[in-house]
Amino acid sequence: MTTLLVDYNNLCIMKCFSTDVEIHSECPNYALWEFYVFETLYDYIRKFKVNEVVIARDDKQYWRKKYFSRYKEKRATTKDKEVDWDTFHEYMDKMFIALHTYFPFKCINIKWCEGDDIIGHLALTLDKDMVILSSDQDFKQVLNDRVKLYSLMKDDWITCTDTERYLEEACFTGQAKDGIFNVITPEDWPVGERKPGFGPAKLEKWRGSGLDIMLNKVVKYNKNGYKREVLPADRLKRNKVLMDFRKIPSVLTKQIENCYNGYQISEIGMLWEFFSVKQWRRFLDEYQLTENLLLNFYK
């Protein structure tokens, strides 16, 4: 049997953009959105023959932001401004509580942790067959014979033939989506200015010249009043902390483990109550099938 590790934020955001939810309207259909979130979970539980579900949610504050102040600095400016995100996050809160209250899922939210931290650490430490349900490429670094990654966006498997090489390249080239700079960009690079280029091709040239040599060559900038120096080795060290799940602070990994190991799931009698209140016909009409499937989680 398999443990399903669910990237809750990724799932919720993907489903909110379903056409008939109408997230851009004045009155989005959040009731339908809730149904889609649960239906997706249920269908993947069946697909992967799951007997344990861990739903990992981002906290509102990230430890990485304390470590690197510019982490995800562009998220607020790149969000779809036609969406009422405050209201959406309120519904995310309610759905997360409902999944914890009524269903036999381990719903984990740790202060200062992103859902990625929870999933990444469990994937590295649990001795189980696991499927990560997320479209986030960051999880490539934890893939192996017992850990697989399934993309919600593509509805297909994401693979990686060399996880260490993938992680090394990501630490060198940075990640625009998370505001993690490449190894030749100073930490105080002007906001809005195009950053110095450093992609896979340049990394290959550095490999040819010797990574140790190139990492310890100071890169200097002196243009339009901006005068700085950066040592790539320092930036690489910082990027490894930001991107390598093995670098998550131990005080947080301990909390993740304690929450997972000590989690008390809900009683099975709560299922019918939830479906009745929501009037989800699919699960009321097939209640015996649904209950029998979820019984596996109580053993």
Q: How do the pLDDT tens digits run along the chain, 299 residues long?
A: 899 999 999 999 999 999 999 999 999 999 999 999 999 999 999 999 999 999 999 999 999 999 999 999 887 666 788 899 999 999 999 999 999 999 999 999 999 999 999 999 999 999 999 999 999 999 999 999 999 999 999 999 999 999 999 999 999 999 999 999 999 999 999 998 999 999 999 999 999 999 999 999 999 999 888 999 999 999 999 999 999 999 999 999 999 999 999 999 887 778 888 999 999 999 999 899 988 888 888 86
The CATH code of domain 2-161+248-298 reads 3.40.50.1010
Q: Which tokens belong to 243?
A: 């991107």
State the pLDDT at residue 80. 82
User: What is the domain partition of the chain in residue ranges?
Assistant: 2-161+248-298, 163-243
What topology is assigned to 163-243 in CATH?
DNA polymerase; domain 1 (1.10.150)
In the block, residue with structure tokens 């979820």: 294
Residues 201 and 180: their CA atoms lie apart, in Å, by 19
Task: Categorise residue 273: left if φ over 0, alpha if ψ from -120 to 50, beta otherwise.
Answer: alpha
Q: What's the pLDDT at 1? A: 80
Distance (Å, whole) CA 60 – CA 199: 31
What per-residue confidence (pLDDT) applies to 78?
63
Contact assessment for residue 82 and residue 35, using Cβ atoms and an 8 Å cutoff:
no
DSSP string, 218-260: PEEEEETTEEEEE-HHHHHHHHHHHH-GGGS-HHHHHHHHHHH
